[in-house]
Amino acid sequence: MVLLIAFAFLAGIGTALSPCVLPVLPIALSAGATGGSRRPLGIVTGLALSFTFATVALVYVIHALGLPDDLLRKLAIAGLIGFGLALAVPAIGERIEARLSRVAPRRGSGGGSGFLLGLSLGLVYAPCAGPILAGVITLSASQTFTAGRLATALAYGIGSAVALYALMLGGRRLTRRLARRSGRMQQGLGVVMAVVGVLMLVNVDTRFQNAVASDLPSFLVNPTGGLESSHSVSKALASVRGGGGPPRLGAAPEIRGTQRWFNTPGGRPLTLAALRAQHRVVLIDFWTYTCINCIRTLPKLKAWAAKYRSDGLTIIGMHTPEFPFEKDAGNVAAAIRQDGIRYPVAQDNDSATWNAYRNLYWPAEYLIDSHGQVRHVHFGEGDYDKTERAIRALLAESGRSRLGAPARARAEIPSRLATPETYLGSLRAQGFDVQVSDGLHHYRGGTPLLPLNRFAYRGAWRIGPESATAARAGARLYSRFQARRVYLVLGSPGHARRLRVLLDGKPLRTITVRRQRLYTLVDLPHAGRHSLELRPDAGVSGYAFTFG
């Protein structure tokens, strides 16, 4: 944790010296150049504190209230444009300054008013953290708040504040020489800020940062040399740059705590130590058989296994369940047969290997070289070419030089505008028109008029933490979605039951629900916005919606 905090401090300095700081720099320089000597110090102190709050506390507040995930970014951009207009249009700036002066006097050292200005700047500065801060602290509303994450975010903010403080001191000397033109300069800088804010609204900044994080990883995320060898830091960085090339990211934890193994001689377990003795390159893929994102990656994994197995590649599917029924070896075996998986698969029912890798995602790939070092990490779908290039590079390192052409397989590309995933159980249900809670409920009302990406129960449902079961005939489940395909994890304990699917009020298909697995409800030629109605028989259980 100490190394991670130190890295955050240095990354904060790097961010303050990067192009991303341009939106904040004009107002910081102009504000720091006026007032007493304490004003710059007040500005950076307020910035560090509010930035820390913006990147930690607000994330959890927004998640708890069920607000959109990008709300903080939109608020920050609105503040940035507002500051720009205040500088560009003197009349607006004077009104704002007059109101602020009621809280902090303009006379004196200026430390108080500088502190207030810094507080507001911290909120505007939050989007500048970009992928670097995400890689350092991997903040997520799904994670538990800890003092360590708070300290890491604070260290990042302090690092940025130190660099900005130095810039402001230098700016004071520069602006004294240009005092006669300070008014026009402030107006010009205000225009720049407003333009930058508009560009951020259309995500120009994120596209630039993602390109830099992808193409220049060694420059952006390794300013401290040996710090990247820290396993926790390197894994966090891997989440930002999608694995990148084949840098050494630390020793791979041994496979542990598994149950049944599939597709191995005699069902015997594999170990990284034994594979290392055979000079094998290993790709560990964390997956679960009801995960549509995992299913869509299977064509690539199967193609790599078939092409590179004889060249020294071993793919291990680490099946870590999300739902209780996914722990059943019979269900896993059936999914392996149905999906045509021939490479080794292990049951990680207790998440022992998952936790050893500190993994958080399905799917997740960890590529390990023949010496047992993690060399490439990728979370989610996509970037298949990068992963295959890393595979080929590590096979070449281990002495396999004649690899031929890359593997050929077509993976489905999901729609970028699809409705977000949601769960039917009370533990993780999102987007419903009422609060979802455990117990037997009778949801009243007719067919609802739902806004986009919303869901509704009608009739009798028995809600549990992970699932919802139709308690009686007449139970209904509604959704207004945007996608080409709709998937739902379903189960029918005991015997087969039916689920009728209606699209835009018209019958689409009837599905026979048997074992617990992922079912395709809707498969359209093109993505679009539609209304979905599900009419399950009593006893049908639903777990999670996914869209693509």
pLDDT tens-digit series, residues 29-64: 555 455 555 667 777 677 667 666 665 565 556 545
242-397 is a CATH 3.40.50.150 domain: no
- Helices 182-201, 25-32: inter-axial angle, 10-degree rounding: 150
Convert the pLDDT of each residue in 331-356 to its tens digit. Answer: 999 999 999 999 999 999 999 999 99
Q: What's the average model confidence in pLDDT over 18-38?
A: 53
Q: Where do runs of H (alpha helix) occur along 17-143? A: 25-32, 38-55, 57-64, 71-88, 90-103, 111-125, 130-137
162 band by pLDDT with thresholds 50, 70 and 90: confident
pLDDT of amino acid 98: 60
The confidence band for 134, taking pLDDT boundaries of 50, 70 and 90, is: very low
Average pLDDT over all residues of the chain: 76
Contact 286, 361 (CB under 8 A): yes
Average pLDDT over residues 171-185: 53
pLDDT (0 to 100) of residue 211: 44
| Closest among 89, 303, 326 to 186, alpha carbons compared | 89
Higher pLDDT among residues 338 and 128, named by residue = 338
Q: Which amino acid is at 335?
A: A
Q: Please give the residue that has the higher pLDDT: either 234 or 488.
A: 488
pLDDT of residue 41: 73
* Tokens read off for 27: 């107002």
Q: Above 60 in pLDDT, residue 242?
A: no
**Binning pLDDT at 50, 70 and 90, where does residue 191 land?**
confident
Beta bridge partners of 511: 499
Residue 371 structure tokens? 């010496």
Answer whether 124's CB lies under 8 Å from 80's CB: yes
Residue/partner pairs of 398-407 with CB below 8 Å, 24 or more apart = 398/279, 398/281, 398/312, 398/369, 398/370, 399/279, 400/311, 400/312, 403/308, 403/311, 404/307, 407/300, 407/303, 407/304, 407/306, 407/307, 407/308
> Which pLDDT tens digit goes with each residue over 83-113?
667 767 877 766 765 665 554 444 444 556 5
Tell me what percent of the residues of the chain surpass a pLDDT of 90.
43
Other C-beta atoms closer than 10 Å to the C-beta of 133 total 24
How far is the C-alpha of 500 from the C-alpha of 540, rounded, in Å? 11
Architecture of domain 422-547: Sandwich (2.60)
**DSSP of 136-156, one letter per residue?**
HH---TTSPP-HHHHHHHHHH
Name residue 281's beta-bridge partners: 313
The predicted pLDDT at position 104 comes to 43
Helix (H) or strand (E) segment spanning residue 284: strand 281-287
Domain edges within the chain: 2-218, 242-397, 422-547
- Which stretch, 69-83, 154-168, 415-429, 434-448, has highest mean pLDDT? 434-448
Least confident of 205-209, 239-243, 500-504: 239-243
